[in-house]
Structure 1
Amino acid sequence: MSEMQAAKHIHLIGICGTAMASLAGMLQLKGYRVTGSDMAAYPPMSDFLRELGIAVAEPFSQKNLEPAPDLVIVGNALSRGNAEVEYVLDRRLPFTSMAAITHDEFIAGHESLVVAGTHGKTTTTSMLAWIYEVASRRRAELVPSFLIGGIAENFGSSFQLRNGRIFIIEGDEYDTAFFDKGPKFMHYFPDALILTHVEFDHADIYRDLEAVQTAFKRLVNLVPGRGRIVAFDGTKNVTECVANAFCPVERYGFMAGSYWQLKDLVQREGHTTWSVLRGGEAWGSFTLPMAGEHNALNATAAAALAFGQGVELAAIEEALRTFASVKRRLEVKDVIDGVTIVDDFAHHPTAIRETLRALRASYAGARLWVVLEPRSNTLRRNVFERELVEALGLADEIILAGVFKQESIPEKERLHPEAILRGLQEAGHRAELHASANEIVDAIAPRLKKGDVVAILSNGGFDGIYEKLPSRLKEAMRVAP
C-alpha cells in the first residue's frame, strides 16, 4: 500500500447499489479510505458495508462531502439535482464513474473475462469465478479476482482481489453515469466474452430492441482477434450481435450443431444433470445443485469459456457440483411450518418465466404462489404486458403489488397492474392486486398451507416483505391451539 493510497479519501455517492458497495470494498482492500452515502441504506449491501466498517451517510447531503474527498465516484442511478452531485460540480471536485475506476484500478493489466447479457449474467459470472477458484487449487496462477452484481454464496462476497492475472467481471449494459451514457461494459475491454441473452430491457434508457442490440454489438467489437466469444444459440438476437465478431465465436445451447451442445438434461429434487457435446463429440457430464434449464445453460457457458481459456475439465465438473448459487437467485429465505418462501431478483418477464419453471421442477406438486412487485425500470412500464401475463400464469396463485414509484413514470408509459390483473383473470388464473407489502401479508398469510411455495419477486427491498411474511407465519404458529 503506497502512502498516496493510504492518504487518499474516496467517496461513493449511491454506495448501497450492489456494484457500488462491492467497489467500495475493493478500494478499501487497496488501501484507500472509503466513505459513501445513499438516500437510505438497505440490505443486503448495507449489512455488507457495515461488516467492512465502511461508513454510510444517509440521506444525500452536501455535508457528506465535507471535508472534501480526493475523489468522488458517482453511481449511475444519480442525476443532476442530487445535492451531492450539485456540490461536486459546483466545487469542481474530481469525480469519475464506477465502471471507469474499476477498469483503471483493477482490470488494466489483467486478463479480462466479461459475462454479459440481458439474463443470467450474475449467476454465470459467479459460476465462472468459482470454476477458476477450484481450478486454482491445482494451478495457483488461475486464482481469480472478480466483481459480481450479487453476493456469490461460495465466496460470501460479491468481489475478490487476488494476485493472479485473471479478472472476471459481470458486464452490465446499463448506462455508466449521468455524464457517460454509454453502457458500463464498454469500460471492461474483454479478452474473452460470454453473451447469454439479448432482449429488450432497461426501457428507461433504451428506446427499443435495436438500441439494445447496438450496445451489445459494440461490446462484441471490443474483443480482440486473439479472444473468444461464447454465445447462446437460442435466439436470433444473439446471432445478430455476434455476426461480425473479429474473433472465434462458439455457440452453446440445445441446438444440433452448436459447438457446446447440452444433452440429456434431467431435473430432480432441486438438482440438474446433463451432458455436453463439444464439437459434436462427448466432452463432459455435469451435476448442478440447482434447478432450472436456464441454470444449466449458464453453467455450460461458464464451463465452455473456462475450458477454452485452459481450465481442466475435472476442475469444472467439481466446481459446478459444489456451486452454491447467488443471493436473491432462487434463494430460500425461510421454511415455516412447511411453507417455503423464496426470494428471486426476477426483473423481466423472461426471468420471471424461468424462475417459475425452475420452481415447478424443484417443488413438483406444490401449490406455487408468486408475489410480484413491478420495480425494475422495464417492469414499471407497459412494454411487456402480454409477456408478463403469460409468465405469471405459470403460478397457481398470483399476487400483484402496486408499481414502485409509479408517479415517476410518464402516464402513457406506465404499467397499470389492473390491466395485468384483468388479463390474468380473463385467462382463468387466480390473481389479486394489493397496494402494499403489508396488505399482501395480511391477505395471504392466513391462506398459506403446509407444502406451499411462495416466490417473492422484486429487484429491491419490497418494503420489508421478505421479513414481514415469515414473521407473520411464525407468529401464527405461536398462537395456534
Structure 2
Amino acid sequence: MNGSKHIHLIGICGTAMASLAGMLQFEGHRVTGSDAAAYPPMSDQLAALGIAVGQPYAEKNLEPRPDLVVVGNAISRGNVELERVLDERIPFCSMAAILHDEFLAGRESLVVAGTHGKTTTTSMLAWIYEVASRRDPALAPSFLIGGVAENFGTSFKVRTTRTFVLEGDEYDTAFFDKGPKFLHYFPDAVILTHVEYDHADIYADLAAVKTAFKRLVNLVPRRGRIVAFDASGNVSECLERAFCPVERYGFAAGSHWRIMNMRHEGAVTRWTLTRGSEDFAELTLPMAGEHNALNATAAAAMAAGQGVPVTAIVEALATFQSVKRRLEVRAVVQGVTIIDDFAHHPTAVRETLRALRGAYPGQRLIAVLEPRSNTLRRNVFEADLVESLALADRVVLAAVFKSESIPLNERLEPEHVVAALNARGVPAAVLADADAIVTSLAPRLREGDVVAILSNGGFGNIYEKLPRAISAAR
C-alpha cells in the first residue's frame, strides 16, 4: 500500500487481529476496528494504542468508508459489517494475506507451528533474538505472537531488520479462504511442536489436520530448516517429504537436540541440552512443566541454527517471563492462588494441570473449566477431557459456551464429564456460568488452594469476580 490508508478490522479483538492492528498503525495507517465483545489482554493492548473498537458489530462502524477492510477468520456471512463491505464492494482481504504482503515479503520468516505450544514458543524465540540484539543490533526481531508476551508487554513489534518471528496458526484464514493461515507465510524455517486433532469445526478428522501441516512442510525451501518434536508419530508423518534439513528435539536418545537431566524446582525448571553428541548448554527456565521445557528447547534449537550465540539463548530463557494467560497468576487472595490459562484442548488442559502439580506440590488443585473453544465444545474429545481433568483434586465445569451453535449430536455434555469424574473419585459439578461458580466456590476455598481457571475467552469476568468473592467470604 502506498501512503496512509484508513484500514478497518472486523473482529479486531482476536489475538492475531489486534496484533495486526498495532502493526498497521505503526506503519502510519489510520486503524479502526469492531468486535462482538472485547476482553483482556487484547482489549487492553488496543486501548493503550488508542485504536477505537466499535461494539457490537454495526454498519455505522464503517463510517467514514474505509479504504480497506481486513476480515477476521471468525467472521462469516450474515455479519452486518461484512454484508455492507460486499454490497458496496469496499476492498477487503484476510489478516494472513496483508501480513505477508506488507510485513513478511523480503524478510526471513521464522514460523512456529503445531497444535500446542505455539504462542509460548514464539514468545521465547522472539525474546532470544531480542537479548541477542543487545550485542548485535542486526538480530533485533520483528514478531507477531498470538498473545501478549510479558517480556515485551505487547504481542507485536515491527523493525527494519531481517528476522520476523511469528506464530503460524493452522486455523482457517477467512470466510472466502478456508485454507490455514500459515500457508500464507512462506517460511524460511519452521518449528513444529506437535500435530494432534484439533479445530473440529473446520477439520473433519486427524488426517485433514495432518494434510495441512504436510503442506506447510512442503513450503520450506531446501536452504531452510525444520525443528520438530521427536515424540509424535503424527509429526514424523508430516515430515516425510521435507526437502530441507530436519532436526528433532525432545527426550529421545537419537534426537539432534536432547533434553537431559531435567529437574523441577517449584516453578523453575533446569536441564542439560545436548546437540548431537555434545553438551550445548545448561538451561534454566522460570516456568513449571515439561511442556515448557520442550517449548524452550525448540526455541533454543531454532535460534542456535540461525546463528544466535549460545550465551544469548541461556540468558534469554533464564529471564523469560511467560505470556499473558499462560499459567498466569492473576491473584493470591487469603492464601488462595488463582491461575489463568488459555486451555483450548484436552492435551493443553492436561499439561497445564501437570505443570501446576509440579509448581505447587501438596496443595489442593481445583480446575474450573469453561468449554469455549470449538474443540472443547464438541463431544469428540469427551473421554480425553475426563482423563485430563482427573489430574485435579476438584473440578467445576461451566455450561458449554454458545451451545446452541453446536449440533446436539456433536455437542459436549458437561454432565457426562462430571459423572465420569465423580465415578473416578474426583469431586466434580456443573454450574451454569461464572457468577454461579463464584458464588458456590468462593466460600469453600481454603488457604493453600490453587484454582486453575481454564478458558480461551473472557469467562464472564471470573478472573476479577472470584478474588473479590474470596475476600468478601473471609
TM-score tier, shorter chain, comes to: over 0.9
Q: Does residue 406 of structure 2 align to residue 409 of structure 1?
A: yes
SS of residue paired to 2:23 = helix
- Separation (CA, whole Å) in 2 of partners of 1:246 and 1:439: 54
- Separation (CA, whole Å) in 2 of partners of 1:419 and 1:472: 29
- Separation (CA, whole Å) in 1 of partners of 2:277 and 2:456: 39
* Structure 1 segment 99-248 matched on structure 2, within 5 A: 99-248=96-245
What one-letter code is carried by the residue in structure 2 that aligns with 1:5?
G
Aligned to 2:36: 39
Shift in Å at residue 264 of structure 1?
0.5
CA deviation string 1:140-185 (max 9, x = no partner)? 1100000000000000000011121000000000000000000000
Aligned to 1:24: 21
- Separation (CA, whole Å) in 1 of partners of 2:277 and 2:214: 28
Q: Which of residues 332, 346, 350 is equivalent to 1:353?
A: 350
CA deviation string 1:102-152 (max 9, x = no partner)? 011111110000000000000000000000000011111100000000000
* Structure 1 segment 8-87 matched on structure 2, within 5 A: 8-87=5-84
What one-letter code is carried by the residue in structure 2 that aligns with 1:15?
I
SS of residue paired to 1:411 = coil
* Structure 1 segment 355-434 matched on structure 2, within 5 A: 355-434=352-431
Q: Comparing 110-119 with 59-68, which one deviates more in the overlay?
A: 59-68
Shift in Å at residue 48 of structure 1?
1.2
SS of residue paired to 2:409 = helix
Gaps of 5+ in 1: none
What one-letter code is carried by the residue in structure 1 that aligns with 2:317?
L
Shift in Å at residue 243 of structure 1?
1.1
Shift in Å at residue 64 of structure 1?
1.1
- Separation (CA, whole Å) in 2 of partners of 1:429 and 1:49: 41
SS of residue paired to 1:273 = strand
Q: Which of residues 3, 6, 30 is equivalent to 1:5?
A: 3
Aligned to 2:88: 91
SS of residue paired to 2:3 = helix
What one-letter code is carried by the residue in structure 1 that aligns with 2:271?
W
Shift in Å at residue 39 of structure 1?
1.3
Q: Which of residues 275, 278, 286 is equivalent to 1:278?
A: 275
SS of residue paired to 1:84 = helix
Aligned to 1:344: 341
Shift in Å at residue 246 of structure 1?
0.2
Shift in Å at residue 46 of structure 1?
1.4
- Separation (CA, whole Å) in 1 of partners of 2:234 and 2:380: 18
The answer (yes or no) to whether the contact 1:336–1:474 under 8 Å persists in 2 is yes
SS of residue paired to 2:223 = coil
- Separation (CA, whole Å) in 2 of partners of 1:431 and 1:244: 46
SS of residue paired to 1:162 = coil
Shift in Å at residue 67 of structure 1?
2.0
The answer (yes or no) to whether the contact 1:260–1:277 under 8 Å persists in 2 is yes
- Separation (CA, whole Å) in 1 of partners of 2:41 and 2:165: 22
SS of residue paired to 1:77 = coil
Shift in Å at residue 5 of structure 1?
2.8
User: Between Structure 1 and Structure 2, how many residues are aligned?
Assistant: 474
TM-score (norm 1): 0.98
Q: Comparing 278-287 with 350-359, which one deviates more in the overlay?
A: 278-287
Q: Which of residues 313, 327, 331 is equivalent to 1:330?
A: 327
- Separation (CA, whole Å) in 1 of partners of 2:210 and 2:298: 20
Percent identity, aligned pairs only, is 71
- Separation (CA, whole Å) in 2 of partners of 1:119 and 1:326: 14
The answer (yes or no) to whether the contact 1:113–1:191 under 8 Å persists in 2 is yes
SS of residue paired to 1:370 = strand
What one-letter code is carried by the residue in structure 2 that aligns with 1:400?
L
CA deviation string 1:250-298 (max 9, x = no partner)? 0000011100010100111200000111112211110000000000000
Shift in Å at residue 475 of structure 1?
2.0
Q: Comparing 427-436 with 110-119, which one deviates more in the overlay?
A: 427-436
CA deviation string 1:25-51 (max 9, x = no partner)? 000000000000111222221121111
Q: Does residue 447 of structure 2 align to residue 450 of structure 1?
A: yes
What one-letter code is carried by the residue in structure 1 that aligns with 2:28?
G
Shift in Å at residue 476 of structure 1?
2.6
- Separation (CA, whole Å) in 1 of partners of 2:435 and 2:426: 23
SS of residue paired to 1:413 = coil
What one-letter code is carried by the residue in structure 1 that aligns with 2:186?
F
The answer (yes or no) to whether the contact 1:12–1:36 under 8 Å persists in 2 is yes
- Separation (CA, whole Å) in 1 of partners of 2:211 and 2:317: 33
- Separation (CA, whole Å) in 2 of partners of 1:12 and 1:385: 35
Shift in Å at residue 421 of structure 1?
0.8
Q: Over aligned residue pairs, what C-alpha RMSD do you find?
A: 0.8
What one-letter code is carried by the residue in structure 2 that aligns with 1:73?
V
What one-letter code is carried by the residue in structure 1 that aligns with 2:380?
V
SS of residue paired to 1:39 = coil
The answer (yes or no) to whether the contact 1:277–1:283 under 8 Å persists in 2 is yes
What one-letter code is carried by the residue in structure 1 that aligns with 2:438?
V
- Separation (CA, whole Å) in 2 of partners of 1:144 and 1:20: 19
What one-letter code is carried by the residue in structure 2 that aligns with 1:116?
A
The answer (yes or no) to whether the contact 1:5–1:30 under 8 Å persists in 2 is no
Aligned to 1:300: 297
SS of residue paired to 2:18 = helix
Aligned to 1:269: 266
Gaps of 5+ in 2: none
- Separation (CA, whole Å) in 1 of partners of 2:229 and 2:425: 34
Aligned to 1:317: 314
- Separation (CA, whole Å) in 1 of partners of 2:276 and 2:45: 43
